[in-house]
Amino acid sequence: MAKNYKSNKDETVRMFKSDFMEALSRVHPAVPLIIYLPVITFFMYKSIGTYEFSFITIFTLVLLGIIVWSLAEYTLHRFVFHFEPKSKFGEKLHFIFHGVHHDYPSDSRRLVMPPSVSMPLAVLFYFLFEAILGNDLVSPFFIGFLTGYLFYDMTHYAVHHFNIRNKFWLVLKKHHMRHHFQDPTKGFGVSSPTWDDVLDTNFDKTQEDVKELLNLKHAPSQNKN
């Protein structure tokens, strides 16, 4: 695979002169769980206790929320995070949002989405879905949407830092490692390659180097420069 990163060690580069802004750009991987699991619990309480939805209704809307998240994940990654404006300011903005992750893909403090980004997005998506579904149905739907988001964040951390051996997780890891180290214009799904298949941005599996892909299971422990 062609080298298109600066370091695969657990290290990074400073992005901001301000210590406060720099701190906002770095986050422990447990932070999304701490923030959003109570929110999911709140919406589950509303779904069951306030609106008294049936199990089938909750299950269906949660599943729909997960599916919608998977499409949002793909769309944000492909069209927002990988959008590279030609201006100097645009290039700097792209680096802050996503370029730094491709330069330092194993930086453990820049693998999950920082709350400074995820919380405004969550609020924006909530009001969008509320306008579409109403203030009752949005509760179980948003449970699924946030669950999908947490699965994405935890998956992203795991494929970069865990020595994965399970076949299911190896598929996700292989898919994401190819995005980083082979072709960043393909493989935009992190928690699922489904939309890459649907929208024809998946990798050509007929050209896979089996030996090379098997080595990916050990990628987190390799300190490449």
Q: How confident is the model at residue 223 (pLDDT cuts 50, 70, 90)?
A: very low
Residue 110 has what pLDDT? 76
Specify the range with the lowest mean pLDDT, choosing from 3-7, 27-31, 131-135. Answer: 3-7
Cβ-Cβ contacts under 8 Å for 61 (sequence gap 6 or more): 53, 137, 140, 141, 143, 144
Residue 82 has what pLDDT? 87
Mean pLDDT for the stretch of residues 40-66: 97
Which pLDDT tens digit goes with each residue over 61-111?
A: 999 999 999 999 999 999 998 888 788 877 777 777 787 788 788 787 778
CB burial of residue 178 (10 Å; 0-12, 13-18, 19+): buried
Mean pLDDT for the stretch of residues 23-28: 79
Q: How confident is the model at residue 41 (pLDDT cuts 50, 70, 90)?
A: very high
CA angle 53, 54, 55 (to 5 degrees): 120
From 167, 172, 140, 132, select the one nearest 156 (Cα to Cα).
172
Q: What are the tokens at 224?
A: 């490449």
More confident position, 221 or 35: 35
Rg over CA atoms, the chain: 19
SS3 category, 197 = helix
Q: How confident is the model at residue 201 (pLDDT cuts 50, 70, 90)?
A: very high
Average pLDDT of the chain is 84
Cβ-Cβ contacts under 8 Å for 139 (sequence gap 6 or more): 43, 44, 46, 47, 50, 51
| pTM for the predicted model, two decimal places | 0.85
Mean pLDDT for the stretch of residues 113-136: 95
Residue 51 has what pLDDT? 95
Specify the range with the lowest mean pLDDT, choosing from 104-108, 114-118, 197-201. Answer: 104-108
Residue 206 has what pLDDT? 58
Q: Are 78 and 201 in contact (CB under 8 A)?
A: yes
Type of residue at 127: F
Type of residue at 20: F
Type of residue at 91: E
Residue 220 has what pLDDT? 45
Cβ-Cβ contacts under 8 Å for 198 (sequence gap 6 or more): none
What Cα–Cα distance (Å) separates residue 29 from each residue in 15, 64, 154, 174? 19, 26, 7, 21
**Model confidence at 1: pLDDT above 60:** no
More confident position, 160 or 4: 160
CA angle 145, 147, 153 (to 5 degrees): 105
Mean pLDDT for the stretch of residues 212-225: 46
* Domain locations along the chain: 19-221
**Model confidence at 218: pLDDT above 60:** no
